[in-house]
Structure 1
Amino acid sequence: MSAAELTRYAITGAIIAFVLFMRLRTIGKARRLRLETLWIIPTLFIAFACFIFSQMPPVGLGWLWVAVAGALGGVIGWQRARLIHIGVDPVTHEINQTTSPAALIFIVALIGVRWILRSAVAMGDARWHMGAALVTDIFVGFAIGVLTLYRVELYVRARRLLDEVRGR
């Protein structure tokens, strides 16, 4: 392993450790959940994905791989959202979300699985004949699924709780 690779892994590890540390500090603390902004991140990422797919679209079965990755990402995003506690203040009707320790463990496991899959795909590339562009497209499809279904599930649950508090 070269010094450049070691540096890359060290920087990646430091960034992941920093992000996880910041997330660890907010576990168990209620944060405001704004329903009106949940659509922004998936929309931006879908626009980004459209740009990526327009530059070098998957061919043939590549679209199937992207769709399967998107569906798998959707299941994981939905499950991740189920680990978030959502509460509604009965007086102000303010919606709050509280991250559970299980959600952080889920994120760490997801990062680990992604890292392992990335390495496995890179090693098996010669056998499977998957180019770097298709691998990128698969990960983009997966991310779209995670981000979109995570926010859809949060929206549906929060909206239902808010309607219950308002008596609808």
Structure 2
Amino acid sequence: MSEYLRGFNLGRNARMLAAQSFDRVVHSKQIPSRSLLYRALLQVIIKKHSPDFPLADGKLKRITAKCQTFEQYFKMADAILNLELFDRLPSEYLHDLCNDIDVQWKRIVLFYLLRLCLAQVVESVILLDRLLYLFENGFKNVYLVKLFDPVLSPRCHGLVALR
């Protein structure tokens, strides 16, 4: 990192976000999959009813494709994670949650798009920091060059330095 940003740390989530292409999402008009909504609702339920339960990544991959509704997803996830929440929660609780699912879906899509807007900001911080690092280390002619279409990848810029 450059001296200017020394001590500043971009976490893994921020770096992974920087690799997402806002232009590709807009170009292809893609929205997140329902699995994102189901996972978020599951995490809300777990935090509310079993706050000490450690939710590990990777255990619930590819189960959304097997489910038509959130109730089916929750039942399958409950069995995989051994939560024993599906039978303990009142049926009205899940019914109310499922009735509110369209509102929750709109919130998830809005959050996804807002987060995607920040992807370009994080990618710019990374690139400009590398550019500044080269300036600090004696390179006088340093350029940030757009090499190809950002629909292909957000990593469409190259740093060119001449001594």
TM-score, structure 1 normalization: 0.27
When Rg is computed on C-alpha atoms for both structures, the one with the higher figure is 2
TM-score, structure 2 normalization: 0.28
